[in-house]
Amino acid sequence: MNSTLSRLGWGVLAVIGAFCLGYVALNHGETINALWIVVAAVSIYLVAYRYYGLYIANKVLGVDATRMTPAVKYNDGLDYVPTDKYVLFGHHFAAIAGAGPLVGPVLAAQMGYFPGMLWIISGVVLAGAVQDFMVLFISTRREGRSLGDLIKSELGTIPGMIALFGAFLIMVIILAVLALIVVKALADSPWGTFTVAATIPIAILMGIYMRYIRPGRIGEISIVGFFLLIGAILLGGKVAADPVMAAWFTFDGKQLTWMLIIYGFIASVLPVWLLLAPRDYLSTFLKIGTICGLAIGIVFVAPQLQMPGITKFVDGTGPAWSGNLFPFLFITIACGAVSGFHALISSGTTPKMLANENQAAFIGYGGMLMESFVAIMALVAASVIDPGVYFAMNSPAAIIGKEAVDVAAKISEWGFVITPDVLLQTAQDVGEKTIISRAGGAPTLAVGMAHIISNALGGKAMMAFWYHFAILFEALFILTAVDAGTRAGRFMLQDLLGAFIPSFKRTEKMAPTLIATALCVIAWGYILYQGVVDPLGGINTLWPLFGVANQMLAAVALTMCTVVLFKMKRERYAWVTILPTVWLLICTLTAGWQKIFHVKPSIGFLANAAKFSAAADRGEILAPAKSAAQMQQVIFNNYLDAALCGLFMLVVISILVFGIRACMKAYAEARPTSKESVYEKLPDNAAA
């Protein structure tokens, strides 16, 4: 009786989800309420978790609640700790959530909310959550080892090295793109620059407090830090209003780039307790708080979506990023649908704290569903603002011009009618000089969030506050990621270089540390600089490169999962990972190929290089170059991007070949050959 009732309940939920999705699909002509999207997404997530997530757990993987987990076996109260599943869910979610799921959907909104929404929901259910969950499970069964180690042991040493090298390159691209988002948000914005700069002394103060004054008391000082941040935002408004002080904090993109590069270098060689750790605490709590606040805001305000469901830019002529819906939409929304980077987190700290295998689905699959929900909220935030404002913010100046009058005329021409007054008024509402050509997602999201939150709290008068709150919130965890990422990149590099020059592995030595850090910073700094001077806005070039790299890492992780299924002799279920792997390979290889060879200079790197070469031969100078030498630089950069893209494709194809070989070999064997740790029974008192 009970089970019939419960099935009925799930059935009703499924019908609600399908109905909302149908409503969204059929109402393209008129504006609809954001809640239709939210309810559709949440119902589908719940049903997917109950029926697909648990199917993978019980049938595909065969999780065993009686099996020993590393947390219990190696329990040391530090790295290995059996942890309450809700607490661990929080830990895992805080580790995977970042800027990615916020930015991708905002950019994708140029095609309308509907295609993005479909990909976010279907991608997470069939690919992203599957990857996170299975990697978590596989790592748990192997003493909580890392992705690189897992690939080494299941596929071989060479593919393991290739994957590590790929992960390092991806890290560099991620850091450059994240830093670019900050530059785009802070350029010519004294208010934003002041508040973000203020986080440095605030974090140092917190660091000293937690080290010497009241060691380890995170809670109290984080609350103080939070109020100082709010104070910094309020003070930022005063700074921006004062012409003298505003000048001190007004920088263009290039200046900010240099500041970020120098900052990145210094921050990542300082002791962690001084700057990195306290800011990480602050940004983690702020992130979780803001995500909850945004969710409550959307439900409470129930805003109408202004963006059409599908815009005419599905044909690939959009201004924010170039390329057709297939494959580029699936590259643009990376995190939130599927993110290869999560494979590193799922094989990081989480598997060492899993109390019981039967909680892996809740944490791995469920955690990713939550991240996907964040992506849905970002999509909603980008779609509640006037489409004219959206396109003014996300189109490069080379296409729409710089003056509000020209911009409004150009965008109205595209069919998104807007007056120059609205653009100026919006800028004034959020306390900025201009909102034109602020690509990169963060400012658009901030306007959307300010729109939603100020409707709930404070009204229009508070809009500027909420805008800068949102900018600060993103900049805070991006800077943390840049700092931690540079550090991690340095360790990876020292490890890789150490294979050739053994003395490089000495992470405690000064010289190798400084050299490896400098190499890391130069690598992402170079790409960042190139993005900042790009006439098409940088995001246009770099975001797809990041998306391709991230999705390829996911394909690598899913290939590893497929190999493990074959080795477990569970190949009859291998479609669960083969399906998303094949889809990701189709998308990323097509996108990679087009980024290199497409005839349109706005898409293909080689075509763009050829365009500049031809102009240089004629003695012409094309923007952004100002001299013949800079023309050569642009040409070189395009070849560099093409080479990077080609390298990513080589990495993924070679892993695929190794993967297929490993699968065939495992298939021919009569017995399971996977290298999981030997079965031990979980002690009875440890049962969760």
Partner 1 sequence: MFRDLAKMGAYLGQAARMMVGVPDYDTYVQHTRLMHPDRTPMTYEEFFRERQEARFGGAVGKCC
**Which one, 37 or 343, has the nearer CB to partner 1?**
343
CB of 444 to partner 1, least distance (A): 18
CB of 491 to partner 1, least distance (A): 4
Residue holding tokens 């002791």? 271
CB 37 within 8 A of CB 380: yes
**Which one, 99 or 261, has the nearer CB to partner 1?**
99
**Which one, 308 or 340, has the nearer CB to partner 1?**
340
Nearest to 653 by CA among 600, 576, 592, 602: 592
Structure tokens at 416: 């998104």
Nearest to 544 by CA among 466, 605, 492: 605
**Which one, 96 or 325, has the nearer CB to partner 1?**
96
CB 298 within 8 A of CB 384: no
Q: List C-alpha distances in Å: 11 to 18, 118, 142, 152, 366.
A: 11, 21, 37, 43, 20
Neighbours of 476 (CB within 10 A): 24
**Which one, 216 or 243, has the nearer CB to partner 1?**
216
Nearest to 307 by CA among 113, 458, 443, 474: 113
Nearest to 162 by CA among 525, 491, 652, 501: 652
CB of 142 to partner 1, least distance (A): 16
Structure tokens at 77: 């109260």
Helices and strands, counts by H and E, the chain = 30, 0
CB of 530 to partner 1, least distance (A): 19
**Which one, 2 or 685, has the nearer CB to partner 1?**
685
CB of 262 to partner 1, least distance (A): 20
**Which one, 468 or 490, has the nearer CB to partner 1?**
490
Distance CA 534, CA 145 (A): 40
Distance CA 484, CA 477 (A): 10
CB neighbour list of residue 145: distance below 8 Å, 6 or more residues apart: 139, 153, 347
CB of 684 to partner 1, least distance (A): 16
CB of 93 to partner 1, least distance (A): 8
Please give the residue ranges that form the binding site for partner 1 (CB under 8 A): 75-79, 81, 83-84, 86-88, 90-91, 94-100, 146, 171, 174, 178, 210, 215-216, 218-219, 272-273, 276-277, 280-281, 284-285, 288, 334-335, 339, 341-342, 344-345, 348-349, 353, 477, 480-481, 484-485, 487-489, 491-492, 495, 546, 550
**Which one, 32 or 344, has the nearer CB to partner 1?**
344
CB 380 within 8 A of CB 391: no
CB of 251 to partner 1, least distance (A): 25
**Which one, 76 or 684, has the nearer CB to partner 1?**
76
CB of 618 to partner 1, least distance (A): 41
Distance CA 47, CA 606 (A): 45
